[in-house]
C-alpha cells in the first residue's frame, strides 16, 4: 500500500523542533505497529522527542494513536463506578495491593491492570505470583466475573491493549529514552484510558528510589498525565509522593504480600497505611483565591454540593454514600490567606466531584479585613406562649 508519509520526514521534522501534525502522529504510530517504520528509525524519533519535547496537543494525539492501535475495554455493564490506580514505581511500593480491596469495599469497581518490575522497582504482578496458584493472565470475561464477585481484580494487560505501546516501551528501554516525559505519560495513560476506567488516581514517585528523582520533573509528569486523563473524559487525580526511603518495612515479593495482609488486618507500617488511605479517599480541596476576610458562605450551595457528592438521595430508596460530604475550614469573619483550604469535598465516587464543584461557584466571598459581615444572627426571634 502507498504510505502517506516517510519515516525520514517525520524524524527530521522533530529533529528540527517542528510540531508534528495529528495526521503525521497517527501515521507514525500505526506505521511502526505495522512494521513499516524500522526500529532504528523509531529510535531516532524517540531521541528527538527526548531532546526537543512535545506540545500538549502532540502528547494527546500520540496517546490517542496508541489507544487506537488496539482494543478499548468497557465496563458499562457494571452497576458501580470504576476506578483504577497507577504508580510509577518504587522500592517497597505495595500500595495497590491493600488499596484495591479497600476501594472495592467502599462500593467502587476496580479493574486494575498492573505490570511487572522494571530495574530496581518491584512489580505488582511479581508480588502476587508469590502466592501459590495465582495467575496473572485473565480474559476480559474472567476479569468481569471476578469484579462482579468481589469488586476488584488485579491482572496483566491483554495483548490487544495498546499494542503500539508494547513495541515502543521495549525500544525505549534499550535506546536511553525511558526518561522522556511525553513518552512516559503517553505510555501510562494509553493503557489506562484503553482499560475503560471512569476514574484514575496516579502515584508519581520522586526521590532517590524513583525514576523521576527530581520533584519538579515528577510534578510535570503528574500534570501531563492528569491533563491527558481530563482530555479523554477520565476523572484523574495525582499525588507526587516521596521515594527517598523504602516504603513500609519490606522490599521483595512474598515479604510485601505478608505486609499487605497485615495492613488489611488493621496493622502494618504507618506510612503504607497513610498512603493507602490517601489514595482510597479521592478528596479534593477548594482554596481561597485571595487573602482577606471571609465575608459569606452560602449554605444552599454547600448543601447542594454535598448532595451531589452522594450525601443526599436523588430518589427515594437510594443508598447514601456515608463517607460523602464537605468539611468547612473557615466561616464568615475568619481571616484567610490565598491558597488556604476553605472546603474539602469527600466522595466514594470521583466522577461526582465535577458537578459538586459547579454547585460551589460563588459559594463564598473574600473582602477586606475591615469589610462588614452580612449574615443573619444565630437566633433571629424568640417566641414565647
pLDDT tens for 41-66 read: 999 999 999 999 999 999 999 999 99
Determine the Cα–Cα distance for residues 128 and 113; give it in Å rounded to an integer.
13
| DSSP annotation string for 211-254 | S--SHHHHHHHHHHHHHHHHHTT-EEEEEEEE-SS-SSS--SHH
Residue 373 falls inside a structural domain: no
SS3 18: coil
Averaged pLDDT for residues 269-276? 89
In the predicted model, what is the mean pLDDT of the chain? 90
The count of domains in the chain is 3
The predicted pLDDT at position 224 comes to 96
The predicted pLDDT at position 1 comes to 59
Helical pair 163-173 and 39-52, crossing angle rounded to 10 deg: 80
Bridge partners of 155?
A: 113
Bridge partners of 147?
A: none
Same domain, 99 and 121: yes
Residue 241 falls inside a structural domain: yes
Residue 348 falls inside a structural domain: yes
Averaged pLDDT for residues 130-141? 91
The CATH number for 303's domain is 3.90.1170.30
Domain boundary at 227, 248, 280, which?
280
Sign for the CA dihedral angle at 147, 153, 155, 158 comes to positive
| Model confidence at 281: pLDDT above 80 | no
Residue 147, C-beta contacts closer than 8 angstroms, at least 6 positions apart: 75, 78, 109, 110, 111, 153
Determine the Cα–Cα distance for residues 226 and 219; give it in Å rounded to an integer.
11
Same domain, 145 and 258: yes
Give residue for cell 487525580: 237
Neighbours of 292 (CB within 10 A): 17
The predicted pLDDT at position 28 comes to 97
> By the 8 A CB rule, do 294 and 330 touch?
yes
Same domain, 64 and 114: no
Residue 73 falls inside a structural domain: no
pTM of the model: 0.78
Same domain, 40 and 149: no
Residue 2 falls inside a structural domain: no
Phi, psi of 177 (to 5 degrees): -120, 15
- What cell numbers appear for 153 in the block? 481484580
Q: Which domain holds residue 311?
A: 284-367
Domain boundary at 68, 93, 116, which?
68
Residue 323 falls inside a structural domain: yes
The CATH number for 232's domain is 3.40.1030.10
Same domain, 174 and 104: yes
Domain boundary at 265, 280, 295, which?
280
Bridge partners of 337?
A: none
Give residue for cell 493507602: 276
| Model confidence at 164: pLDDT above 90 | yes
Tell me which of 1 and 154 has the higher pLDDT: 154
Residue 78 falls inside a structural domain: no
Determine the Cα–Cα distance for residues 242 and 93; give it in Å rounded to an integer.
11
The per-residue pLDDT for range 71-120, each reduced to its tens digit, is 999 998 998 889 999 998 889 899 999 999 999 988 889 999 888 876 67
Phi, psi of 202 (to 5 degrees): -115, 135
Residue 112 falls inside a structural domain: yes
The CATH number for 58's domain is 1.20.970.10
Neighbours of 307 (CB within 10 A): 16
The per-residue pLDDT for range 231-248, each reduced to its tens digit, is 998 988 898 999 999 999
Same domain, 99 and 201: yes
Same domain, 41 and 144: no
Same domain, 214 and 304: no
Same domain, 179 and 301: no
Same domain, 314 and 195: no
Same domain, 258 and 362: no
Same domain, 123 and 135: yes
Which active-site residues does the annotation give?
86, 165, 172, 187, 191
Determine the Cα–Cα distance for residues 324 and 190; give it in Å rounded to an integer.
30
Determine the Cα–Cα distance for residues 344 and 66; give it in Å rounded to an integer.
36
Amino acid at each position: 500500500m502507498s504510505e502517506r508519509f516517510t519515516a525520514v520526514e517525520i524524524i527530521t521534522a522533530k529533529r528540527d523542533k517542528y510540531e508534528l501534525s495529528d495526521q503525521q502522529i497517527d501515521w507514525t504510530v500505526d506505521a511502526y505497529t505495522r512494521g513499516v517504520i524500522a526500529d532504528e528509525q523509531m529510535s531516532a524519533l524517540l531521541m528527538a522527542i527526548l531532546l526537543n519535547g512535545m506540545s500538549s496537543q502532540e502528547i494527546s494525539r500520540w496517546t490517542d494513536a496508541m489507544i487506537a492501535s488496539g482494543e478499548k475495554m468497557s465496563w458499562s455493564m457494571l452497576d458501580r463506578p470504576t476506578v483504577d490506580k497507577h504508580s510509577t514505581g518504587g522500592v517497597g511500593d505495595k500500595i495497590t495491593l491493600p488499596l484495591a480491596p479497600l476501594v472495592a469495599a467502599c462500593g467502587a469497581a476496580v479493574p486494575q491492570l498492573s505490570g511487572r518490575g522494571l530495574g530496581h522497582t518491584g512489580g505488582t504482578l511479581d508480588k502476587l505470583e508469590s502466592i501459590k496458584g495465582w495467575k496473572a493472565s485473565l480474559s476480559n470475561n474472567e476479569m468481569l466475573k471476578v469484579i462482579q464477585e468481589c469488586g476488584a481484580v488485579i491482572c496483566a494487560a491483554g495483548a490487544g491493549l495498546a499494542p503500539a505501546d508494547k513495541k515502543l516501551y521495549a525500544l525505549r528501554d534499550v535506546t536511553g529514552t525511558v526518561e522522556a516525559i511525553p513518552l512516559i505519560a503517553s505510555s501510562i495513560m494509553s493503557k489506562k484510558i484503553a482499560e475503560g476506567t471512569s476514574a484514575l488516581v496516579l502515584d508519581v514517585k520522586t526521590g532517590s528510589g524513583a525514576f523521576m528523582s527530581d520533584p519538579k520533573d515528577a510534578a510535570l509528569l503528574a500534570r501531563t498525565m492528569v491533563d491527558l486523563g481530563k482530555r479523554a473524559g477520565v476523572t484523574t487525580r495525582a499525588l507526587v509522593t516521596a521515594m527517598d526511603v523504602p516504603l513500609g518495612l519490606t522490599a521483595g515479593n512474598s515479604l510485601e504480600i505478608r505486609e499487605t495482609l497485615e495492613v488489611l488486618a488493621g496493622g502494618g507500617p504507618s506510612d503504607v497505611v497513610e498512603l493507602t488511605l490517601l489514595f482510597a479517599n479521592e478528596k479534593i480541596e477548594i482554596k481561597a483565591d485571595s487573602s482577606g476576610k471571609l465575608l459569606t458562605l452560602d449554605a444552599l450551595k454547600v448543601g447542594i454540593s454535598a448532595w451531589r457528592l452522594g450525601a443526599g438521595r436523588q430518589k427515594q430508596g437510594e443508598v447514601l454514600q456515608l463517607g460523602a460530604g464537605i468539611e468547612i475550614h473557615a466561616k464568615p469573619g475568619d481571616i484567610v490567606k490565598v491558597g488556604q483550604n476553605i472546603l474539602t469535598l469527600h466522595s466514594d465516587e470521583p466522577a461526582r466531584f465535577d458537578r459538586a464543584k459547579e454547585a460551589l461557584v460563588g459559594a463564598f466571598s473574600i473582602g477586606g479585613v475591615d469589610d462588614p459581615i452580612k449574615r443573619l444572627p444565630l437566633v433571629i426571634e424568640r417566641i414565647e406562649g
